[in-house]
Chains A and B, each alone.
Chain A
Amino acid sequence: MHDGDFFYQAFVYLSAAVIAVPVAKKLGLGSVLGYLIAGVLIGPFVFGFIGQEGQDVMHFAEFGVVMMLFLVGLELQPSLLWKLRSPILGLGGIQVIATSAIITGLVLLFTSLPWQTALAIGLTLALSSTAIVLQTLSEKGLLKTEGGQNAFSVLLFQDIAVIPILAFLPLLAIAEAGTTVAHESTTWIDGLPIVLRTLVILGVIVSIVVGGRYLISPAFRLIAQTRLRELFTAAALLLVIGITLLMTKVGLSPALGTFLAGVVLAQSEYRHELETDIEPFKGLLLGLFFIAVGASIDFQLIVNNPGLITLIVLGLVVVKLVVLYVIGRFFGMRMDNNMMFAFGLAQGGEFAFVLFSYALKNGVITDSTANPLIAAVAISMALTPLLMLLNEKLIQPYFGTKKEDDREADVIDEQNEVIIAGFGRYGSTIGRFLQANGTQATYLDIDPNNVELLRKLGLKVFYGDASRHDLLNAAGAKEAKLLIVAVDDSEKAIEIIETAQKHFPHLKIISRSKSWDDYFNMLDKDLLGVFREFSDGALRMAADALCFVGLRKNQVQRALKKFRKHDEMYLKELASSRHEHNTFIKHSKQHIEDLEKMILDDIENEAKDKDLGWDTTTIKEEFIPILNKLKEEAKKNT
C-alpha cells in the first residue's frame, strides 16, 4: 500500500468516525451505531470512499476485540471469575447448544440444504457479537448489572466455544474441498499428534498464567523506572500482541489468551496503568472494526433479495431472542435484566465472518448460501444498538423497574470511598491511620519502587499518574467521596486537583501543600482542606521545647492548639488580601511581610486571649475584701 493510500484511508475512516459518532451520541444512539452508520456511509454502496479492502481492515480491526477482552480480563479478579462459573457454563452452554439446535432444525425444515451445512450454519449463528454487546453495555454502564454480567458470561463461553467449532467444521465437509484447508493457517502444532498438541496448548496457557503472575510485574517495574511513558505503552502493546501471536500459533483464540492474561494481571499493581494505556488503542480499533462491519454490508445483495435477507435477519434475531429469554427466565433473572440480556445478545457475531469463510474453504457451505448469511449477520449486528434502544425506551418502562436499582446493589470489591494520590512518607502515614481505623483507601503512586515495596507489605497500591483523569476513573473516582492529594511534587498536586475538579466535580479534595505559594494557590481552588506539610511537626517540636524549658504540658498543649487555629485563620485572611494587593511584589518580599504581620499578630493575640475560666484574678479582686472581713470577725470572736 502506498503512503498516500494509507493516509487517504486513515483520513476517510477518522473523519467518518469524528463526524458520525458525536452525531449518533447526540441523538442518543450510542457510539457503536455511530461507527456502523459511518461505515455504511463511506462504504462501497453509499459514497464509495472505500472499496472491498474494507474486509482487510476488518481483519486488522478485529484486534480491537482482542484488546477489549484483555481489558475485560483486567477488570475481573480471578475470584469474581470463579463466581461466574455457573452462568458461564450454564447460561453460555445452554444458549449455544439450544440456539444452534433450533437454527439447524429450521434450516433443515425450510431449505433443502444437507444436514452438515445446516449444522455449520446453526453453530455459527449461535454466537453473538462480543464487540458490539460489551461496548454498548459498558457505554450504558450496564456491564455490572445482573443482566450485563450474564451477557458477559455467555459471550465468554462463546469465545471459548469457537475453538472446538473451528476444529469440528472440517469434519462437516460435503464437497471434497479442492484445497486442503487445514494448512491455510499454519500453526506450530498442526503436524503433531493430538496428545502432544493438547500438551502444547496446556503449556501455553500455563505459561501465560505463570508469566503473568511472576514475570510481568518485575518487567513492568523495570520499564516504569525509566519514567518514559511511551515505553510503558509500548510494553503494554507488546504484551497484548505477543499473546495474540502465541495463541494464533497454537491455534487458539487470541481474545481468550489476552483475556486470561488480563485476569492474571487483574491483581497486579500496574493494572490501572495498563488499562489506561490500552484503552485508547482498543477504542480506536473497535471503532475501526465497527466501521468495517458497516462498510462490509453488501447492499447489492440486499437490494437483489430483500425478502430473503429480511427473513433471515428476522428469523435469526427472533430465535436468539426467544432462546435467551427462556434461558434467562430459567436462571431466575429479573424481568428487566432478562429483557436487556435477551435483546442485547440477539445478533450474529464477528466470529460468523471467520467461521463462514472457514466453512467455505472447507467445503461445508457454498458461496450462494454463505453470502446472504454474512449480510444478515452484519445487519443483525447493526441492529443490536437499535434493539437495545428499543428495549430501553419502549419495553423497559412498561415493567417499571429501572436499571439504577441494580447498579446500586452492585458492590465492586475494590471501590473505596477514599483515594490517596501519593503514597510516600506523607501519604502512607495518612493511609496507615485510615486503615488502622477500618477505612480502606485506593492508593496511587508514581514511584514504581515504592509501589513494589508497599505491595510487599500487603497494601493495595497502584502505579500511575493521578493527574490523568482516566487513571482516577479507573481508581473509582466516580464513586469515591474523598480524594487526598499527598504527592510530593507541588505542580503535580495542582494538576491532580484541576483534573479531579474538572472530571469529578462531586469529589471532595483535601491536599498537602509544601510552600506558602502552594498553600495560597490551593486555597483558591476551594478545597475541603489544605494542609501545610511541616506546620504540625514544627509546632509539636516547639511545644516539646517549651515543656523541656519547664512549662506545664497541658498549658503548652492548649497554647499549641490556640496558635494553630489562629495561624490558619490568619493565613486565610492573608490569602484573600493577597488578591487585592498588587501581585508584582516579589514573592520573597511578600513572605517576609506576611511573616512580620503574623508575628505581630501573635503577640497581640496572646495578650488578649487567656484561659479566663482558670484565671482567678477578677474573683480575687471581688472576694478578697469579704474574706478579709470574715477573718477579722473570726479573730474578734476568739
Chain B
Amino acid sequence: MKVLILFAHPAFHKSKVNKILVDGLSELEGVTFHDLYEHYPEFDIDVKEEQKLLSEHDCIIFQHPIFWYSTPAILKEWQDLVLEHGWAFGSEGNALKDKLFFCALTAGGPEQAYQVEGYHNHTLNQLLAPLKQTAQLCKMIPLPPFAVHGTHAMETDEILDHKNDYFTLLKMIIDDKLDLDKVSELDYLNQYLIKEEL
C-alpha cells in the first residue's frame, strides 16, 4: 500500500514536535511526503497535480497541528479545490473510493482536555467529524486519528516515543498489516499499537 502524507504547518520554522515527527518521513519506502505550505507558498494549488498524486496512493494522511479544532488554512483550501465533484464525490466521483484516510495531529492540549466534560467540551473525534464525513462522502475509509497530545509541554524523548509509534504504524499500513476491523473500534489509532502489544 502506498501512503501519501499531506503535511500542513504554516509556522514549521517555529515548530518543535512536528519537526521531529516529520524528520525522516520522506525517506520511508512507500511514503510520499508532500509539504503543502512549502509547495504552495502563494496558495496556488495545482488541482490536476494533486489529483494525480492522490490517484497514485492508497492511504491519504492529513498531517498537521490542530488549529481552532480544524486544519491549517491551506488544507481547507486544498479540500475546497482538489476534491472536485465528479472526481472525488458524486455519482461519477470514484477516484478516491476505498482509499484509507486519517489525520495525524499534534495538539497543544492533553487528551483530558478533549472530553465532553473537559476544557474543550468535545472529544477529538467529535471535533473531527467534518473531516471524517468528507472522507466518507469521497467513499474513502476513515480511520481514527493518530494524535500527539500535550505538545505545549513535551520533552524530546516523549516526542521520540510518539515518532516511533507513528513510523511503526506507517510501516504496518505499507505492508498491509493493519486490521481494519480492529481499527474501527478505536478512538485513536495510537491505541492499535497498545492492543497489538497486548
Contact = CB atoms under 8 A, between A and B. Distances in A.
Interface of A: 551-557, 611, 614-616, 619-620, 623-624, 627-628, 630-631
Task: List the 3 shortest-distance A-B pairs measured between CB atoms, nearest first.
Answer: A614-B11, A553-B41, A557-B41
Interface residues of B, number: 19
Interface in B125-165: 150, 152-153
A630 B119 CA distance: 13
A624 B153 contact: yes
Given A552-B41, A554-B10, 16 more contacts: A551-B13, A552-B13, A554-B38, A555-B11, A555-B13, A557-B41, A611-B11, A614-B11, A615-B11, A619-B152, A620-B152, A623-B108, A627-B150, A627-B153, A630-B110, A630-B112
Interface in B1-55: 10-14, 37-42
Contacts of A555: 11, 13
Contacts of B93: none
Contacts of B110: 627, 630
B10 A614 contact: yes
Nearest to B68: A613
A287 to B, nearest CB: 60
Contacts of A624: 152-153
A545 to B, nearest CB: 14
Given A614-B10, A614-B14, A553 B152 contact: no
A551 B13 CA distance: 8
Contact of A554 (B41, B108, B152): B41
B152 A616 contact: yes
Given A553-B38, A553-B41, A630-B110, A615 B14 contact: yes
Nearest to B42: A557
Given A553-B37, A630-B112, A620 B153 contact: yes
A628 B153 contact: yes
B109 A623 contact: yes
B19 to A, nearest CB: 11
A350 to B, nearest CB: 65
A259 to B, nearest CB: 53
Contacts of B11: 555, 611, 614-615
B182 to A, nearest CB: 25
Quick one: which of B11, B108, B109, B150 has the most chain A CB within 10 A?
B11
Contact of A552 (B38, B40, B150): B38
A615 B38 CA distance: 18
A619 B112 CA distance: 17
B161 to A, nearest CB: 14
A624 B10 CA distance: 22
A29 B153 CA distance: 88
A35 B41 CA distance: 68
Contacts of A619: 108, 152
Contacts of B152: 616, 619-620, 623-624, 627
